[in-house]
Structure 1
Amino acid sequence: MSDGPDRGIERRAFVKSALAIGGASALAACLDRGGGDADVPTGSPDARPERQHAWNDALARDDHGNVVEPTHRLLLLLDYEGEGTPRAAEREQVERALATLEEAYAWSHEGLLSTMAYAPAYFERFDADLPESVDLPAPEALASFEDPTLDTPDALLYLASDHAHVLLAAEQALTGEQDTLNGLSVAHTFDGVLSVAERRTGFKGDGTPAENQDANGVPTSQPVPEDAPLYMGFKSGYEKTQPPEARVTIQTGPFAGGTTQHASHMRLNLEQWYEQDDREARVGKMFCPYHAENDVVEGTGDNLGTDAGMDKAKPAAAAAATDGVVGHNQKMVDVREDGRPIILRRDFDSTDGGHAGLHFVSFQRAIDDFVATREAMNATALAADSPVGQRTNNGILQYMDVTSRGNYLVPPRSKRALPTPRGDA
């Protein structure tokens, strides 16, 4: 990793490898390639929104007005190191460590965006229960054909930036391995309070999957389109296929201003996706048969503007009964509210484990909103009525296997440091 540019690795592929490996040597090599923090703006904790998940105003926009998510992502699954319930001094330590990141880097895709969340397992150590205003069940398999590992860390820190070295440096600072961060002295860390149980990494953006095709599950005979933002070749996250951040925000109770988070990993079968199906079939399964038959989707789908155009699609039930194909986006129409979805997706591709995959990260007011969305994606009843049958024509289900699931509460920023179930001190 530190042999320099003569290794012949494309820079962004190198950066992906450094982020996936992690550690001080990977950070040093990444800085050597990328030029350091010179162009990364500093920030101020006081300038952060109370809603941790309020990223949209800090993100860039494309020509249509859709948000452009940060290129690089890091999920840190954290274990609480203490006995019993957290102490006030530990809360202060965690808060100051997180505030250090915010002072070092601007709240921006060019700096660092984050959410700090807590799992049901964390809250089980308390005598009190979470309030009724918080829907946070333990994770579970959500289909008969799933057998995921159910995550049981105490916390999940989600970091995102256009600069991979920012994520590596932030991780090193939190774990006590970095003395300075973008010119700021690091005085507070997670050391002795929270430890990293697992790290998950990935990327998203035009061309990034094509630059990361050296993974298992990606066909060599049919490469990923060069400009695709995701492995499956199509754009996602259209403005009108995402809810407003207010829709996924908890409205009442001690965690008002917070949200819930689901994080799962899906192993992708891109060999089957690209080699079994031609482009028309892929468009039909990702969007709907109408789009495939009428050449609605150009390239990766950027021509659709801010909407996937499901107003032209048949109802999913009608498509299952007559076409034998139900598109993924077509099924999602059934769980929209006021024409918009009820979960906010901030997912990204990955080569964790050496295999092409997707880390599906979503924010929603209640985990039940995610479950309802997943049930619509499963479309079990529709598939049973189909002339072809379940998982053979049912959107994109057959091309992915869920390997892990986890549920979390994202408190408002003022309560993000080792909260109690009642959100008090």
Structure 2
Amino acid sequence: MSNNDNDAFAERHQQGMSRREFLAETGRTLSMALASAGVFYELIDNLAQKPEQVAFAATQPLPPEQYIVPSTRIVNVTSAGVSGSGPDTIPVELHPLHNHIITAKIKVPANAKALQEAQHHLESVLQGLEQQFSPATSNGVTIQVAWGLPYFQHYIPSLGKSSSFFKAGTRYPEYMPVDLATSQKQKQKVYAVQEAMTFPSDHPPAGFGPVRLEQNDVVVILRSDSLDNIMAATNAIFGTGSNQAGSLFTVTSIRRGSTGGGFYGQQSIPSKVALAAKIPGAESIPPHAQVFLGFTTTLQANMAPDNIPSLETIPGQTDQWPNGYFKQGTTMHLSHLFEDLETWYGRGSQDFSAFPDRVRAMFRPGLSTASGTLTVNPPTELSDSNIAQDVQKYQAYGHSGSMQSIVRQTTPTTTNYGKTYPAGIAVSARGDFNTVDNPFHYSSDPTGNHFSTKPAAGMHFIIFQPTIGNFNRTRLAMDGYYPDGTVLKLSPRSHGAGINSVLFTTHRQNYLVPPRSHRSFPLAEFLA
């Protein structure tokens, strides 16, 4: 037992509970958490109108990239336009309504035989789910499996077999993808996946302690318009029957939430969930808002097209072209943060109660649009100097605007696959969603994670990009720190620093998302 378990046991022991009864109760708590979608999400799922289904032939092969959701739905939203430009028609990607994240430690002996058996077992379960829920779109269930650096460090210390990818004896981290662009900038070898770091504006809630830089071995992300499908997939992967894979893992957290649902004229799921959970400020969330903060986040113009986020697609990003083991994979950042809706919608000493102030904070100072507009084309051609000029003129900058010079290609891009994109394409794809869990639906370390049953407005943030170096530069730009050394003359948690003052980060971790062909215990086949 951990120290936290011992403390909890001591408390229960005073209530007359034996150690065996305490352990049984702990097990039931995890079992119940795995079996429950969460009372608010289950309630809302029965009321939500499902989006129009997208045709996807069952015989069509799944993309080799795990992070791509096949046949993503697109809805064209009519917007009022900005700064007098007139109405816009803005394409928006519709992500699955429900999202569940399960993090875990590996519960397998660190030897070749055990890991290779685990590799085959998990892959068999995953393939079975893909057959059961074919097609694997939002209509069924999409599955993404990503691996933290602790997995590679502890379970793949060196490779015992030669292959077309590696020499026998290659040790960690030499087999990991190399971030060529960041290595060139820093004049030393930097890998595509780095340990998570904190950022200038990171500021957990009072009493929470420092941001937790997590050390999970693996994370599984399940996404669907159907909670029933997600729960079936959860049971298959984390159940303990002979045809399930739960014996391979010790679950450390379960994170659940929803997004969208408001593009079809009905009240959105985030609005319904927040009201049902009696979240402070929930009554101010626009009824059709995709997320708690109101403005639509998955504009097609904001999302990297096709396989741009892959390690190998953009020339010069990593060393995975043309034949890397992790080719068609990507990197992923996962974090949790609380959102202060009362301040955002107007109940704080320095709030964003006026709609133009929220537009300024989310996009850029000087931008205007009709009151209540939720879907706004982002400013896409801003340079670092433009942002510095905004700070000088308005003593403020916008969240989206501050990152444009990092998240987009500044020149036309021809990929290693021969496809050409114009300047301004995004290089990352986000998959975040709101939650009312505090901070998680389940935690194996409730004390360390400050677990509470009291609902709270939050977001589980997920983003895929070719390298974590790219994410770090983007996140630093959000705080006013740029690669050329420019630092905006504004405190990164001030009222004028985008939306930073209403965000409270609690957890961070970076992951490697292998291609679909290597998603199950990557590199285990090379152990001897």
Q: TM-score range by the shorter chain?
A: 0.7 to 0.9
CA distance in 2, matches of 1:248, 1:224: 32
Offset of residue 23 of structure 1 = 3.9
In 2, the alpha carbon distance for the partners of 1:284 and 1:91 equals 49
- In our comparison, the structure showing a higher alpha carbon Rg is 2
Secondary structure in 1 aligned to 2:308? Answer: helix
* 8 Å contact kept, 1:137–1:407: yes
Residue 311 of structure 1 and its aligned partner are, at CA, apart by 4.7
Tell me the matched-pair count.
385
Aligned to 2:373: 299
Match of 1:102 among 130, 135, 146: 130
Matched to 2:74, the amino acid is R
Residue of structure 1 in register with 2:219 after alignment: 156
Residue aligning to 1:8: none
| Helix, strand or coil at the partner of 1:280 | helix
CA separation in 2, counterparts of 1:250 and 1:34? 39
The verdict on how the C-alpha distance between 1:289 and 1:27 changes in structure 2, with shifts beyond 3 A counting, is closer
Alignment of 1:99-248 (within 5 A): 99-105=127-133, 106-125=135-154, 126-127=156-157, 128-129=171-172, 130-133=175-178, 135-143=192-200, 145-146=202-203, 147-176=210-239, 188-205=243-260, 206=262, 207-214=268-275, 215=277, 218-219=280-281, 223-248=284-309
How has the CA–CA distance of structure 1 residues 289 and 34 changed in structure 2, closer, same or farther, with 3 Å as cutoff?
closer
Residue of structure 1 aligned with 2:102, choices 72, 76, 80 = 76
Q: Which residue of 2 aligns with 1:93?
A: 121
Give the root-mean-square deviation of aligned CA atoms: 3.2
The aligned runs of 1:380-399 (5 Å cut-off) are 380=481, 384-386=488-490, 390-399=493-502
Q: Residue 97 and residue 422 in structure 1: after superposition, are their counterparts in 2 closer, same or farther (change >3 A)?
A: closer
In structure 2, relative to structure 1, the CA distance for the partners of 1:288 and 1:392 (3 Å cut) is same
Contact map agreement 2:381 2:405 (CA 8 A) in 1: no
Describe the shift of the 1:422–1:24 C-alpha distance in structure 2 as closer, same or farther (beyond 3 A): closer
Q: In structure 2, how many angstroms separate the alpha carbons of the residues matched to 1:27 and 1:332?
A: 34
The 3 A distance-change label for structure 1 pair 174 and 399 is same
SS at match of 1:47: coil
Please list every run of 5 or more consecutive structure 2 residues that lacks an aligned counterpart in the other structure. 1-31, 77-89, 158-170, 179-190, 204-209, 263-267, 313-319, 410-422, 439-454
Give the CA deviation at 1:390.
5.0
Q: Read off the aligned partner of 1:154 and give its amino acid letter.
A: D
- Opposite residue 137 of structure 1, the aligned amino acid is Q
Write out per-residue CA displacement over residues 36-64 of structure 1, whole angstroms, 9 at most, x where no aligned residue: xxx99999698221111121x42211024
327 and 166 in structure 1: CA distance in 2 versus 1, 3 angstrom threshold: same
- 1:235-314 matches, within 5 Å, as 235-251=296-312, 252=320, 253-275=324-346, 276-277=351-352, 278-291=354-367, 294-295=368-369, 298-301=372-375, 304=376, 307-311=377-381
Shift of the alpha carbon at 1:420? 1.9
Q: Confirm or deny: 8 A CA contact 1:217 1:271 kept in the other structure.
A: no
Which residue in 2 is equivalent to 1:3? none
Q: 1:322 to 1:136 in 2, by over 3 A?
A: same
Give yes or no for the alignment of 1:412 onto 2:515: yes
How far off its partner does 1:290 sit?
2.2
- 1:227-280 Cα offsets, whole Å, 9 max, x none, are 110100111121111212422101112101100111001111111111122111
C-alpha separation in 2, matches of 1:261 and 1:116? 11
Q: TM-score, normalised by structure 2?
A: 0.67
Given that residues 348 and 360 in structure 1 are in contact (C-alpha distance below 8 angstroms), is that contact kept between their aligned partners in structure 2?
Answer: yes
Cα 1:246/1:309, change in 2 over 3 Å: same
Which string of whole-angstrom CA distances, capped at 9 and with x for unpartnered residues, describes residues 57-82 of structure 1? 42211024332101000001022101
Task: Tell me if structure 2 keeps the 8 A contact 1:332–1:341.
Answer: no
1:30 Cα shift? 5.3
- Quick one: distance in 2 between partners of 1:316 and 1:365? 25
TM-score by length of 1: 0.82
For the residues of structure 2 that align with 1:424 and 1:246, how far apart are their CA atoms? 30
Relative distance call for 1:91 and 1:355 in structure 2 (3 A) is same
| AA aligned opposite 1:378 | D
| 3-state SS, counterpart of residue 327 of structure 2 | coil
Q: Note the residue ranges of structure 1 that are not aligned, 5 or more in a row.
A: 1-20, 179-186
Distance across 2 between alignment mates of 1:94 and 1:188: 10
Q: What is residue 402 of structure 2 aligned with on the other side?
A: 331
